[in-house]
Amino acid sequence: MTVKIKAEWDRLKKVAVHTPGMEMFFGLLDPFASLYERAFSQRDALKEHEVLQYTLKHDFNVKVLPIKDTIVDISLKKPSMKVKLVELTKKSIQFNGTDQDVEMACQEMDANSNILDPEHYFNTILLNPSIELEPRMTTRMINLHITQREPLTNLYFMRDQQIITDKGMVLSRMNKPQRRREPQLTGLLWEMLKEPLIYKIQGPGTLEGGDYMPLDSFALLGMGDRTNQSGVDQLLEHGLGFDEVGVVHQPSHPLIPLDKRDPMLNMHLDNYFNVASKGVAVGSKQLLETTIVEIYQRTSDGYQKSAEKTNLYEYMVSKGFDFINITTLEQMAYASNLLCIRDRAILAVEVERIVKDVINKFRLRAKADPEGYSKLLAQIKKDYKYLRQEGQFFPHKKEIYQYDIDAYPLNLSNLTGGYGGAHCMTCPLKRI
């Protein structure tokens, strides 16, 4: 049966997640190269992920599918699926050495396929090792040197490798080389679960799930650093059935000079915009008023772009949405990266736990590049003082209560170090 999702506020019944493993250790050796925001405690991050899963399961009765456990369990029960796991592993391991040594290593890998368990193969895909087989003139033939080549350090952000539209599941194509292999692994999961794909984004197109948001009668699709024009065009042609789609152009932050543009500040749509319920959106008005939206209307000949252009704030107001306005500091601390569980119920990042890390990060950046970050640093310091005085750190804002929204704040101070919150960490598979 094809999975379909029409609106972010429909009741969430099933999600896929990935509990970070040894790949996070390698990511923390060089956070910047791993697309992480900052260093953090892996031990505490794992505890936070456990709480996230527990909250989904026990507070909201959501079925949670951990990708590793699911793939391993199915591979143990169905030998044909283990074969597919092994074949994918062969694409993620590289032997280097003499022809004879490489051939022997490959033969040994094949011979051991009935002995090695599925978890071994899953971990190999995560780590993507390169194995140097160095000959030696001793009783042992080789020295063994193993190098990790772009391990899947961002896999726990399960939102991005695919999207579920009103027509079905579309497999993404990631923009950054560090993440390019992730849809291969999640694609195997969907095959094992018999969740059919309606389309796979083809190169040179890129599309990532954090840039997509279904909103019942229309959808938003972000375009910028992670999702390009080709990815947008392919999704419009093959993956969407909404009567209207707003293509949202990733904004350059108004407090950053254009020649110093930093796309990581709002890399995905859900990093600077979201909805807390039907008719209530969350975002920084200052930023959203600079965010250009192009409107596409569905016709008998496919989607056609309207001549009209607007900004994201005005576009959502025209659709009948009210706004919970957040400060620049709250946006930088993942306030908008909330997960709507049902209409007027959200899982949100406990922003107050993160803001000092955010301020310290931009203090260092402003010191290294005053022209680029001084204005932004001044604003977030001002925001911090205001929020402390008012006691209004998201989600503990008066508007949350005025709109009768049940907010469940989570301490994700370590997990957000990877650049995302509860929305980024979950792939919704069923909403009703």
Tell me the pLDDT tens digit for each residue of 258-312: 999 999 999 999 999 999 999 999 999 999 999 999 999 999 999 999 998 899 9
Question: What pLDDT, on the 0 to 100 scale, is given for residue 113?
Answer: 86
Question: What pLDDT does 30 receive?
Answer: 93
* pLDDT tens digits for range 381-418: 999 999 999 999 999 999 999 999 999 999 999 999 99
In this prediction, residue 234 carries a pLDDT of 98
Give the pLDDT score at 96.
84
Helix/strand/coil (H/E/C) assignment for every residue in 277-316: ECCEEEECHHHHCCCEEEEEEEECCEEEEEEEEEEHHHHH
What does the alpha-carbon distance between residue 342 and residue 60 come to, in Å, rounded to a whole number? 9
H or E segment and range at residue 376: helix 370-390
For the chain, list residues with pLDDT below 50.
none
**How far, in Å, are 106, 130, 376 from residue 365 at the CA level?**
47, 35, 10
Domain positions in the chain are 12-69+153-431, 71-148
Exposure string of 79-88, with b = 16+ CB inside 10 Å and e = fewer, is eebbebbbeb
Count of residues for the chain? 432
pLDDT of residue 99: 84
In this prediction, residue 322 carries a pLDDT of: 98
Q: Specify the CATH number of the domain 12-69+153-431.
A: 3.75.10.10
Q: What is the pLDDT of residue 138?
A: 54
324, two tokens: 């919970």
pTM here is 0.94
Other CB atoms within 10 A of residue 108 CB: 9
CA 422 vs CA 23, 153, 367, 378, 410: distances in Å: 20, 17, 31, 28, 9
> Can you tell me the distance from the alpha carbon of 44 to that of 27, in angstroms, rounded to the nearest whole number?
15
